[in-house]
Chains A and B, each alone.
Chain A
Amino acid sequence: MLHDVVIHENEATRIGQVLGSFLEESGVSEALLIDRSGQLLASTGKSPSFDTVSIGALAAGAFSSTNAIAELLGETEFSVLFHQGVRESIHVSTVDKETILLAIFNEGTTVGMVRLFAKEACRAIGAVLAEARSQPRRVGALAAPLTADEVRTDMGRKKH
């Protein structure tokens, strides 16, 4: 069974700090921490116009399918992916079994720089996530079980 993820404020701050330094040192414009199921865990960047939710889902899909190709070739995985564009490029690397780090960058830096600092950032984030996984999942407002009344979702219903 895959492990559920919980990010408390302390971990969110620490992950934010690691992503912030990664951005500064490597010169990337956007860094996204993505769960391999496709969900975005954190993002930091200078380009708020990017649709990070969609990018997260698609990048996780691309990473998973590339890993399936790796297995067909007898590899355990391809731990780094690189997509080169005319202006923007993408570098994806493995943080841990459940998480990947995606960096979006342009001609302001080089893939070598991104690779170098991504490695360091992945190690630091991996340590934070390992701690996060040992934290209690339900605290504060979510500590007590939800009642049947609280789990109404009401999607698609007109508001009264």
Chain B
Amino acid sequence: MSIINYAAKEINFKVVYYGPGVAGKTASLQHVHRSLPEGNKGKMISLATGDDRTIFFDFLPVSSLSVRGFVTKFQLYTVPGQVYYNMTRKLVLRGIDGVVFVADSQFERMKENVESFRNLEENLREYNYELDRTPCVIQYNKRDLPNAAPLSYMEYLLNRRARRVPSFETVASRGTGVFEALNTVSRMVLLSEFGQEQEVQRNAS
């Protein structure tokens, strides 16, 4: 849910990193936080358990290039991945403009990936959002691990809807591919809010 403030000359968007537990959502945000210069980021906040699992959300405000004199700001959130935290996961989705789905590439985690993706669709529906109309990209994370499933298999499992979304091979712990995914989803968010109809459709197909 974007917020345009003509007085402050700011446009604010909310992007949520979604996916199963320990897939690399927090690691992705930490890379963004580490890499951006001071002027382009705020403080990163993590609400985590003692063993570093996100219990509510991580939060990182970042700012991007100005568009026609308006500073574009993206508030990045993660959700807790564990199945039993669904209520808090749903709360974080409130008012989103875009989603980065972080999938765990390890073969044995495919079931969790598929379940989490379905859970995303269900939770979006509760806010009357449809995944096909929400800017979304997929990060296939942990591509450096020896037991990573082939990309085509993961695409078959997670990205064979009528509207296929852009997907990226990432290694969040090293930062590989993280900004490519973030820049793509933020462009999609901007286009869906301020672009021409046909450009939005072209971008989504």
> Which chain A residues numbered 52 to 102 have a C-beta less than 8 Å away from chain B?
53-54, 57-58, 61, 64-65, 68
Does A130 lie at the interface of the complex (its beta carbon under 8 Å from any beta carbon of B)?
no
A7-B7, A53-B61 as given contacts; A35 in contact with B1, CB under 8 Å: yes
Q: Annotate B121-159 by CB proximity to A: 1 below 8 A, 0 otherwise.
A: 000000111000000000000000000000000000000
Tell me, rounded to whole Å, the shortest Cβ–Cβ distance linking B129 to chain A: 7
Interface residues of A in 119-160 (CB under 8 A from B): 137-142, 145-146, 148, 150-157
Stretch from B19-27, B161-169, B185-193 contacting the other chain: B185-193
Instruction: Report B44 CB to chain A, min CB distance, Å.
Output: 9
Residues of the B chain whose Cβ atoms lie less than 8 Å from the Cβ of A8 = 6-7
Residues of A within 8 A of B196 (CB): 145
The closest CB in chain B to the CB of A67 belongs to B91
Residue B45 interfacial (CB < 8 Å): yes
**Chain A residues touching B, majority SS:** mixed
A69 to chain B, nearest CB (A): 10
A-binding segment of B64-72, B101-109, B110-118: B64-72
Residues of B within 8 A of A146 (CB): 67-68, 190-191, 194-195
- Whether A41 touches B3, Cβ cut-off 8 Å, given contacts A54-B59, A61-B56, is yes
Q: A138 to chain B: which residues have CB within 8 Å? A: 4, 194
We find that the number of chain B residues with CB closer than 8 angstroms to chain A is 54
The smallest beta-carbon distance between A78 and chain B, in angstroms, is: 14
Q: Which of B43, B67, B70, B72 has the most CB of A within 10 A?
A: B67
Q: Is the CB of A37 within 8 A of B94?
A: yes
Residue in B36, B94, B96 whose Cβ sees the most chain A Cβ within 10 Å? B94
Tell me, rounded to whole Å, the shortest Cβ–Cβ distance linking A8 to chain B. Answer: 5
B30 at the interface (CB under 8 A from A): no
Do A68 and B6 touch (CB < 8 A)?
no
Compute how far the CA of A148 lies from the CA of B8 in the bound complex, rounded to whole angstroms.
Answer: 24
A13 to B7, CA, bound (A): 8
The reply to whether A1 and B179 form a contact with Cβ atoms under 8 Å apart is no
On whether the beta carbons of A4 and B87 are closer than 8 Å, the reply is no
Nearest residue (CB) in A for B68 is A141
Tell me whether A37 and B43 are in contact (CB under 8 A).
no
> Is the beta-carbon distance between A152 and B62 smaller than 8 angstroms?
no
Minimum C-beta distance from A2 to chain B (A): 5
Is A12 positioned at the interface, with any CB of B under 8 Å from its CB? Answer: yes
Contact assessment for A64 and B94 in the assembled complex, using a CB-CB cutoff below 8 Å: yes
Extra contacts, 11 of them, besides A53-B42, A154-B64 (Cβ < 8 A), are A1-B129, A7-B3, A7-B4, A35-B3, A39-B75, A53-B43, A68-B87, A145-B196, A148-B195, A155-B62, A156-B32
Q: Which residues of B contact A (CB under 8 A)?
A: 1-8, 12, 14, 32, 35-36, 40, 42-43, 45, 47, 56-57, 59, 61-62, 64-65, 67-70, 72, 75, 77, 87-88, 91-92, 94-96, 127-129, 178-179, 182-183, 186-187, 190-191, 194-196, 199
Task: Identify 7 residue pairs between A and B in the complex whose beta-carbon atoms are under 8 Å apart, listed by A's number.
Answer: A3-B1, A6-B3, A145-B194, A148-B191, A148-B199, A153-B187, A156-B178
Q: Please report A residues at the B interface, Cβ cutoff 8 Å.
A: 1-9, 11-13, 35-39, 41, 51, 53-54, 57-58, 61, 64-65, 68, 137-142, 145-146, 148, 150-157
